[in-house]
Structure 1
């Protein structure tokens, strides 16, 4: 994302209320934050909302940054937490909407997965496969999902992912192994259904 020392200096300036420093930090890190959020929510609009929330939090929390991790790890941590919170909130809203729809037949379909999911890190010809992969990733337990997104999609090392997740490298490796097994099962089932339909 940039030189860690440079980012730390920017954060120091942000603590003192320096807005140009905040804009600079935003420009350096926004695409990674957006892509990570998009990997969780699969909607550009939702990812943009999460990105805004992340940077509001970065600005407000700059003073409480203790330097126990580097700045990018700290920002990833905020992004993961905001993304997971957003998903939980959406699920609550969907449950409420579903309950409402039981009494009001005019509300139409409640659960909606956007069919036009496009991730900026995926080549155009691979978007259909990527959409299937992200649907499979959605079924993973929370920790497996985070470990997989950080390492396989965002390209962090297992050590960096462990820092973001505040866990051990061994735990990340174990989560990835289980995630890979679960994804293989999911994607194999999808492949078999596609073959059966063709």
Structure 2
């Protein structure tokens, strides 16, 4: 497939997009917390792949290279955003209309609402992590990559990835414990 891509074969690129589209969008969504932004950035990822496939050396797997581009594009987008826009994106994620009946006293929140709230709290905590910890933690715990694959994506060592994930786990555990304690009071 790589040779076909390097020869600018349209069918090969369509196959590549079909194979990786969902995982690229999902990765973008986990970083950007907004479906539209995730779709926009995923298009940029595939444009970058198309434009730079000739420079792909094969040092890593093609999927690792694609994730490296995806993570880089997501981080670039996050850097462009100001704090206000990030809060706005989280607001879109909340789907306020789903809790209005509950606030009015009509019914208790259902399981989906409780899961949504948990996801929001976890996302908020993840956004407090330093960028490199958040990237390593997201790729490990949410995307399911191995430490070796994460090291390739982040262009660092496996030991550095282990350290980043350990620090991220420690900080998120502390933050989530604080949130839970505040809910109980």
Greater RCO, 1 or 2 (C-alpha within 8 Å, sep 6+): 1
Q: Which residue of structure 1 aligns with residue 182 of structure 2?
A: 193
Q: Which residue of structure 2 aligns with residue 19 of structure 1?
A: 10
2:159 matches 1:182 = no
User: What TM-score do you get using the length of structure 1 for normalisation?
Assistant: 0.79
Q: Which residue of structure 2 aligns with residue 155 of structure 1?
A: 144
List per-residue Cα deviations over 1:8-41 (Å, max 9, x = no partner): xx23212211111111101101111111111111
Q: Which residue of structure 1 aligns with residue 100 of structure 2?
A: none
List per-residue Cα deviations over 1:79-111 (Å, max 9, x = no partner): 00000000111128x59xxxxxxxxxxxxxx94
C-alpha separation between the residues in 2 aligned to 1:117 and 1:33?
Answer: 23
Q: CA deviation at 1:115?
A: 4.6
Q: Contact between 1:42 and 1:117, CA under 8 Å: does it hold in 2?
A: no
Segments of structure 2 that go 5 or more residues without pairing to the other structure are 96-110
Q: Contact between 2:34 and 2:92, CA under 8 Å: does it hold in 1?
A: no
User: What TM-score do you get using the length of structure 2 for normalisation?
Assistant: 0.84
2:67 matches 1:70 = no
Q: Contact between 1:11 and 1:22, CA under 8 Å: does it hold in 2?
A: no
Q: Which residue of structure 2 aligns with residue 102 of structure 1?
A: none
Q: CA deviation at 1:116?
A: 2.8
Q: CA RMSD in A?
A: 2.1
SS at match of 2:170: helix
Segments of structure 1 that go 5 or more residues without pairing to the other structure are 1-9, 96-109
Q: Which residue of structure 1 aligns with residue 82 of structure 2?
A: 91
